[in-house]
Amino acid sequence: MNTVIHLARAACVVLALSLCACKSGDSHSRADSTASSMDQMGGVVTKARASAEAVGTSLKAVVETADSDPAPAFAQFKRDLATMKSSRDDLYARDSSVQSQGRAYLAEWEKSNATITDPELKETAEARRLKLQEALASIEEPMVALRAGLDPVMASLEDLQKVLAADLTPAGIDAVASKAKSARGKASDLEDLFDDVDSALKKVAPQFKTAKPPPPEAK
Protein backbone atom coordinates (compact mmCIF):
# COMPACT_ATOMS: atom_id res chain seq x y z
CA MET A 1 0.00 0.00 0.00
CA ASN A 2 2.82 2.36 0.93
CA THR A 3 4.49 1.62 -2.40
CA VAL A 4 1.34 2.65 -4.26
CA ILE A 5 1.10 5.86 -2.26
CA HIS A 6 4.75 6.70 -2.90
CA LEU A 7 4.34 6.04 -6.63
CA ALA A 8 1.25 8.23 -6.70
CA ARG A 9 3.08 11.02 -4.91
CA ALA A 10 6.05 10.69 -7.23
CA ALA A 11 3.75 10.90 -10.23
CA CYS A 12 2.17 14.05 -8.82
CA VAL A 13 5.61 15.61 -8.30
CA VAL A 14 6.64 14.78 -11.87
CA LEU A 15 3.39 16.24 -13.21
CA ALA A 16 3.81 19.39 -11.15
CA LEU A 17 7.38 19.83 -12.33
CA SER A 18 6.28 19.31 -15.93
CA LEU A 19 3.56 21.92 -15.60
CA CYS A 20 6.01 24.37 -14.07
CA ALA A 21 8.46 23.74 -16.86
CA CYS A 22 5.77 24.37 -19.45
CA LYS A 23 4.67 27.51 -17.67
CA SER A 24 8.21 28.83 -17.41
CA GLY A 25 8.64 28.33 -21.13
CA ASP A 26 5.36 30.01 -22.12
CA SER A 27 6.83 33.47 -22.73
CA HIS A 28 9.68 32.05 -24.74
CA SER A 29 7.27 30.00 -26.83
CA ARG A 30 4.95 32.93 -27.37
CA ALA A 31 7.81 35.04 -28.70
CA ASP A 32 8.73 32.38 -31.26
CA SER A 33 5.07 31.83 -32.11
CA THR A 34 4.62 35.55 -32.72
CA ALA A 35 7.68 35.61 -34.97
CA SER A 36 6.35 32.62 -36.90
CA SER A 37 3.03 34.41 -37.40
CA MET A 38 4.92 37.43 -38.73
CA ASP A 39 6.71 35.22 -41.26
CA GLN A 40 3.39 33.72 -42.35
CA MET A 41 1.90 37.19 -42.62
CA GLY A 42 4.78 38.16 -44.89
CA GLY A 43 3.83 35.32 -47.22
CA VAL A 44 0.26 36.61 -47.37
CA VAL A 45 1.53 40.12 -48.15
CA THR A 46 3.39 38.68 -51.15
CA LYS A 47 0.24 36.88 -52.31
CA ALA A 48 -1.92 39.99 -51.86
CA ARG A 49 0.56 42.13 -53.80
CA ALA A 50 0.54 39.65 -56.68
CA SER A 51 -3.26 39.47 -56.69
CA ALA A 52 -3.56 43.26 -56.93
CA GLU A 53 -1.23 43.24 -59.93
CA ALA A 54 -3.21 40.41 -61.56
CA VAL A 55 -6.50 42.29 -61.12
CA GLY A 56 -5.08 45.32 -62.89
CA THR A 57 -3.89 43.17 -65.77
CA SER A 58 -7.18 41.33 -66.26
CA LEU A 59 -9.25 44.52 -65.95
CA LYS A 60 -7.11 46.13 -68.64
CA ALA A 61 -7.74 43.10 -70.85
CA VAL A 62 -11.50 43.54 -70.45
CA VAL A 63 -11.28 47.09 -71.80
CA GLU A 64 -8.89 46.12 -74.60
CA THR A 65 -11.17 43.29 -75.84
CA ALA A 66 -14.39 45.29 -75.59
CA ASP A 67 -14.98 45.16 -79.35
CA SER A 68 -13.99 41.52 -79.82
CA ASP A 69 -14.63 39.04 -77.01
CA PRO A 70 -14.39 40.49 -73.47
CA ALA A 71 -16.08 37.51 -71.76
CA PRO A 72 -12.88 35.46 -71.13
CA ALA A 73 -11.04 38.52 -69.79
CA PHE A 74 -14.00 39.40 -67.57
CA ALA A 75 -14.11 35.84 -66.21
CA GLN A 76 -10.43 36.12 -65.37
CA PHE A 77 -11.00 39.52 -63.77
CA LYS A 78 -13.66 38.01 -61.51
CA ARG A 79 -11.32 35.20 -60.46
CA ASP A 80 -8.47 37.63 -59.81
CA LEU A 81 -10.73 39.92 -57.80
CA ALA A 82 -11.95 37.00 -55.69
CA THR A 83 -8.33 36.05 -55.00
CA MET A 84 -7.50 39.63 -54.10
CA LYS A 85 -10.42 39.83 -51.67
CA SER A 86 -9.46 36.51 -50.09
CA SER A 87 -5.85 37.65 -49.74
CA ARG A 88 -6.91 40.93 -48.18
CA ASP A 89 -9.15 39.20 -45.64
CA ASP A 90 -6.39 36.72 -44.83
CA LEU A 91 -3.88 39.53 -44.40
CA TYR A 92 -6.14 41.43 -42.02
CA ALA A 93 -6.75 38.27 -39.99
CA ARG A 94 -3.02 37.54 -39.83
CA ASP A 95 -2.30 41.08 -38.68
CA SER A 96 -4.90 40.78 -35.93
CA SER A 97 -3.34 37.47 -34.84
CA VAL A 98 0.18 38.90 -34.79
CA GLN A 99 -0.89 41.86 -32.68
CA SER A 100 -2.89 39.68 -30.27
CA GLN A 101 -0.07 37.18 -29.85
CA GLY A 102 2.49 39.93 -29.42
CA ARG A 103 0.45 41.82 -26.84
CA ALA A 104 -0.22 38.64 -24.85
CA TYR A 105 3.50 37.85 -24.82
CA LEU A 106 4.45 41.36 -23.75
CA ALA A 107 1.77 41.44 -21.04
CA GLU A 108 3.03 38.16 -19.59
CA TRP A 109 6.58 39.46 -19.74
CA GLU A 110 5.53 42.63 -17.90
CA LYS A 111 4.01 40.55 -15.10
CA SER A 112 7.19 38.51 -14.88
CA ASN A 113 9.32 41.66 -14.70
CA ALA A 114 7.23 42.90 -11.77
CA THR A 115 8.43 39.93 -9.70
CA ILE A 116 12.16 40.54 -10.30
CA THR A 117 13.86 41.64 -7.09
CA ASP A 118 17.21 42.79 -8.51
CA PRO A 119 16.63 46.45 -9.52
CA GLU A 120 19.29 46.42 -12.24
CA LEU A 121 18.03 43.21 -13.82
CA LYS A 122 14.47 44.49 -13.57
CA GLU A 123 15.39 47.70 -15.39
CA THR A 124 17.26 45.76 -18.08
CA ALA A 125 14.40 43.34 -18.62
CA GLU A 126 11.83 46.12 -18.84
CA ALA A 127 13.97 48.07 -21.31
CA ARG A 128 14.11 44.97 -23.53
CA ARG A 129 10.36 44.48 -23.23
CA LEU A 130 9.64 48.08 -24.19
CA LYS A 131 11.94 47.77 -27.18
CA LEU A 132 9.99 44.78 -28.51
CA GLN A 133 6.72 46.51 -27.70
CA GLU A 134 7.84 49.41 -29.88
CA ALA A 135 8.92 46.98 -32.61
CA LEU A 136 5.51 45.29 -32.59
CA ALA A 137 3.77 48.66 -32.84
CA SER A 138 5.93 49.60 -35.84
CA ILE A 139 4.09 47.00 -37.94
CA GLU A 140 0.77 48.75 -37.43
CA GLU A 141 1.77 52.08 -38.99
CA PRO A 142 2.29 50.65 -42.51
CA MET A 143 -0.72 48.34 -42.01
CA VAL A 144 -2.98 51.33 -41.28
CA ALA A 145 -1.71 53.02 -44.44
CA LEU A 146 -2.27 49.84 -46.45
CA ARG A 147 -5.83 49.46 -45.19
CA ALA A 148 -6.54 53.10 -46.05
CA GLY A 149 -5.38 52.50 -49.61
CA LEU A 150 -6.55 48.93 -50.16
CA ASP A 151 -10.16 49.09 -48.96
CA PRO A 152 -11.26 51.93 -51.32
CA VAL A 153 -9.55 50.19 -54.25
CA MET A 154 -11.35 46.95 -53.45
CA ALA A 155 -14.67 48.80 -53.27
CA SER A 156 -14.07 50.41 -56.69
CA LEU A 157 -13.09 47.10 -58.27
CA GLU A 158 -16.12 45.34 -56.83
CA ASP A 159 -18.37 48.11 -58.16
CA LEU A 160 -16.81 47.73 -61.60
CA GLN A 161 -17.42 44.00 -61.49
CA LYS A 162 -21.11 44.59 -60.73
CA VAL A 163 -21.49 47.09 -63.57
CA LEU A 164 -19.67 44.93 -66.10
CA ALA A 165 -21.56 41.82 -65.03
CA ALA A 166 -24.77 43.56 -66.08
CA ASP A 167 -23.43 45.29 -69.20
CA LEU A 168 -20.47 43.76 -71.01
CA THR A 169 -21.32 45.38 -74.33
CA PRO A 170 -18.76 47.57 -76.12
CA ALA A 171 -20.70 50.67 -75.11
CA GLY A 172 -21.02 49.45 -71.53
CA ILE A 173 -17.31 48.82 -71.22
CA ASP A 174 -16.49 52.16 -72.86
CA ALA A 175 -18.73 53.91 -70.34
CA VAL A 176 -16.61 52.67 -67.41
CA ALA A 177 -13.21 52.69 -69.16
CA SER A 178 -12.01 55.81 -67.35
CA LYS A 179 -13.09 54.40 -63.97
CA ALA A 180 -11.34 51.14 -64.82
CA LYS A 181 -8.14 53.00 -65.69
CA SER A 182 -8.30 54.93 -62.41
CA ALA A 183 -8.87 51.74 -60.40
CA ARG A 184 -5.94 50.04 -62.14
CA GLY A 185 -3.69 52.95 -61.31
CA LYS A 186 -4.70 52.90 -57.66
CA ALA A 187 -4.22 49.13 -57.51
CA SER A 188 -0.73 49.60 -58.91
CA ASP A 189 0.00 52.25 -56.28
CA LEU A 190 -0.65 49.66 -53.56
CA GLU A 191 2.67 47.99 -54.37
CA ASP A 192 4.64 50.47 -52.27
CA LEU A 193 2.22 50.04 -49.35
CA PHE A 194 2.59 46.26 -49.51
CA ASP A 195 6.36 46.67 -49.60
CA ASP A 196 6.29 48.88 -46.49
CA VAL A 197 4.39 46.21 -44.54
CA ASP A 198 6.70 43.48 -45.80
CA SER A 199 9.79 45.48 -44.81
CA ALA A 200 8.42 46.08 -41.32
CA LEU A 201 7.70 42.38 -40.83
CA LYS A 202 11.18 41.36 -42.00
CA LYS A 203 12.73 43.87 -39.62
CA VAL A 204 10.63 42.98 -36.57
CA ALA A 205 10.25 39.18 -36.80
CA PRO A 206 13.95 38.40 -36.09
CA GLN A 207 13.75 40.43 -32.88
CA PHE A 208 11.22 37.93 -31.48
CA LYS A 209 13.04 34.77 -32.58
CA THR A 210 15.17 32.51 -30.46
CA ALA A 211 18.40 31.54 -32.20
CA LYS A 212 18.34 28.08 -33.74
CA PRO A 213 21.28 25.84 -34.70
CA PRO A 214 22.25 25.98 -38.37
CA PRO A 215 20.97 23.17 -40.58
CA PRO A 216 23.40 20.28 -41.11
CA GLU A 217 25.70 20.63 -44.05
CA ALA A 218 24.73 18.67 -47.12
CA LYS A 219 26.98 15.72 -47.76
pLDDT band, residue 205 (cuts 50/70/90): very high
- Per-residue pLDDT, averaged over 92-97, amounts to 96
DSSP characters over the chain: -HHHHHHHHHHHHHHHHHHHHHHHTHHHHHHHHHHHHHHHHHHHHHHHHHHHHHHHHHHHHHHHTTTS--HHHHHHHHHHHHHHHHHHHHHHHHHHHHHHHHHHHHHHHHHHHHT---HHHHHHHHHHHHHHHHHHHHHHHHHHHHHHHHHHHHHHHHHHHHHHHH--SHHHHHHTHHHHHHHHHHHHHHHHHHHHHHHHHHHHHHHHPPP-PPPPPP-
pLDDT for 26: 53
pLDDT over 60 (residue 21) = no
Which pTM does this prediction carry? 0.82
pLDDT for 217: 80
Q: Where do the structural domains in the chain lie, given as residue ranges?
A: 27-206
- Per-residue pLDDT, averaged over 112-124, amounts to 95
Mean residue pLDDT of the chain comes to 88
Say which range, 6-15, 71-80, 177-186, has the weakest mean pLDDT.
Answer: 6-15
pLDDT over 50 (residue 171) = yes
